[in-house]
Amino acid sequence: MISDKVVIHHKYKRAIKYIVSILLSIVFLYFAFNNVNTAVVFNYIANASLFWIIIFLIVNLFSHFIRAVRWKIILRSVKPDTSLKNLFGAIMVGYGVNCVIPRLGEISRAVLAGKWENLSRSSMLGAVIVERVIDVIFLALAVVVSAILWTENLYDKFPWLKAAVYLSFILMAFVILFFYMMIRFREKYYGYIIKLIGKFSEKLAHKAAYIFEMLILGFGSLKGTKNYILTFTLSIMIMLVYALNSYIGFYAIGLNHVKDVTFEMAWMVMSISAIGVVIPTPGGTGSYHVLATSALVLLYGFSYDLSLAYAVLTHGLTYFMFIFSALAIYFLFDKGHNNFLMLAEKELDDL
């Protein structure tokens, strides 16, 4: 039985994390909109092309369908006949939750997909973590590709980028090596690590055991050369479709009327602005705006107002699509109407 004191403690922790994420958004939005003529920005948005907005939303949805296909490949060894509809629905609900409470969406989609597919939350959470590790690796690769494509020194424009890429690769290499050792030599290392942690805190040791079990299930679910190749191919496709969506956004806001736009430009903007989505703000609010706007202004010389209008439009379309999709999918297709958010919050507390 969980005591009221523990429940209150967890609620305070969640509230503090949420407040910090909101404050981060406010800070980033302040930097994005500081000394900006908002009337000009929203005039650009009001005159955006409805045709290209519709195409933008369709391509955006398609990118997440590819993500659902990749998730199905990762889960193939756990359950070969997982429903794409359920996985896609869980992904969209998860993104909708992320737009309100950062990072809870990842756990929410694992909980919801596990419920719909009758799979354990631990295995689903493990698979979601595997996905996120893959995403970070490919995001870092996307930035490296951008640095190669840019004829000048990209790091001169974004000095912090090189350190972020190096750090990402070092962390990913460490994580992959660590979990390879954990999976390959589980019997030898698993008990030793738990005992070592237990010397400092029994509670922390139980938590570590739960996390290790979850991660081992997740990394162990991706098996077979064919599945590795498919996962790699689909990950590249996801990045290409994300860049395509950025490219379509150029036409939606009218950047093509100012100068010629290319897919290469879209790749650059996508890879840099995607870092803003990694920052724990609700749905990347604020952080995305700053980075997308900076990329267009610093790299390609677009006006700040027009660049910010691009960021506001593309983020707003994606944000409201996630919210609307999450509400529609959950209330239309989740027949049990269990409070998956409470389960997700409990899992978050256990991590």
Q: How many helices (H) and strands (E) does the chain have?
A: 15, 0
Contact present, 273 and 313 (Cβ < 8 Å): no
| DSSP per-residue string spanning 27-45 | HHHHHHHTT--HHHHHHHH
Average pLDDT of the residues in 12-28? 81
Instruction: Provide the pLDDT for residue 260.
Output: 94
What would the pLDDT profile of 124-179 be if each residue is shown by its tens digit?
887 888 888 888 888 888 888 887 777 666 667 777 667 776 776 677 677 667 66
What would the pLDDT profile of 291-333 be if each residue is shown by its tens digit?
999 999 988 999 999 999 999 999 999 999 999 988 888 777 6
Sequence-distant (≥ 6) Cβ neighbours of residue 184 within 8 angstroms: none
Structurally, the chain folds into a number of domains equal to: 1
Residue type at position 138:
F
What would the pLDDT profile of 61-74 be if each residue is shown by its tens digit?
999 999 999 999 98
| Angle (CA) 193 198 202, round 5° | 140
| DSSP per-residue string spanning 267-330 | HHHHHHHHHHHHSSSGGGTTHHHHHHHHHHHHHH---HHHHHHHHHHHHHHHHHHHHHHHHHHH
Enclosing domain of residue 217? 4-350
pTM, entire model: 0.83
Please check the confidence at residue 77 and state whether its pLDDT lies above 70: yes
What is the 8-class DSSP label of residue 101? Answer: S
What would the pLDDT profile of 168-221 be if each residue is shown by its tens digit?
667 767 766 766 666 666 656 666 666 666 666 666 666 666 666 666 666 666
